[in-house]
Amino acid sequence: MSMLVTGGGGFLGRYIVEQLLLLGEEVRILSRQRYPELEQLGVECVQGDLRDNDAVERAVNGCEVVFHVAAIAGIWGRWPDYYGINVQGTKNILAACQKLGVARLVYCSSPSVTFDGTDQKGVNESAPYPEKWLAHYPHSKALAEQMVLSADQPGSLRTCALRPHLIWGPRDQHLIPRLIDRAKTGKLRVVGDGKNLVDMVFVENAAAAHIQAAGALLCSPEQVGGKAYFITQGAPVRLWDWINEILALEEIAPVRKRVSANVAYYAGAMMETAYKMVGRMNEEPRMTRFLARQLATHHYFDISAARHDLGYVPHVSTEEGMRRLGEELASRG
């Protein structure tokens, strides 16, 4: 069975590719660059941009299942960039799937599509989309998610969306390196009281959830089709304790300096205004409103639906994941 992974050369995408290969599946990826190491494993690489209809159709053609993982992430940037990749790109993927007879599509969404800047304590998928957005990324992902779920059609394309929260693990080139770099340069501050609980998910668990979702769309489409699912470790942690555990793996002193949640929020608002005024849209401010709220609030989720409908179980524990992460960081020297 031929399967497409958009963004298959990225962090999560590559783990999905590797797990599919272990299952003996034929795998193709759509990405903006070549990945010779994946080609050597037998992966077919299609180069192209999600905004290019022709490239998208070349990638989708002949595939039974599509895992749409590619996206532009971040807390800052221009709306046309987020809209073009995350919304228009998803629209192109859906159109190609419908035109070329793809049976199943699993979309990688984000829990931030329900984040309104306030605490989220054990919320489930009934949580609504917010009326106002603190960043372009969650806004664009929410628009794309709604398109994907609306595209679910019995007897035709079946779709679902997964919302993995704070994906981490070996080979991460974004979250972990940024934390370490900011800590080394003295730019990290505990925002708020430091007691906020958050959910996260080890990357291998997040990848496995996508494959389980594709299976569930085949075996129980009426139960899964058109639905979104939170994906986490199922055991929230204190955010700042967890960050300090990561820093300890690199023998970096724990973060002790603090800033109040309100001060961080208003500092973020001022920085956003200043950066917009001088046209610094390609340079991420040190603080934004969205980041301030993410660092200070509780956000953990009820994953009962994923457990029940998808058979999802986070097989790699947080403790085991941290051990593997520590080994990888040590190997980097």
Active site residues: 137
C-alpha to C-alpha distance for 266 and 292, rounded to whole angstroms: 9
DSSP sequence for 72-131: ---S-S-HHHHIIIIIIHHHHHHHHHHHHT--EEEEE--GGGG--SS-EEEE-TTPPPPS
Beta bridge partners of 240: none
Gap between the Cα atoms of 91 and 108, Å rounded: 14
d(CA 32, CA 40): 18
How would you label 100-123 residue by residue, b for 16+ Cβ within 10 Å and e otherwise?
A: eebbbbbbbbbbbbbbbbeebeeb
In 3D, which of 129, 134, 140 has the Cα closest to residue 88? 140
Amino acid of residue 152:
D
What's the rounded Cα separation, in Å, for the pair 243 and 236? 13
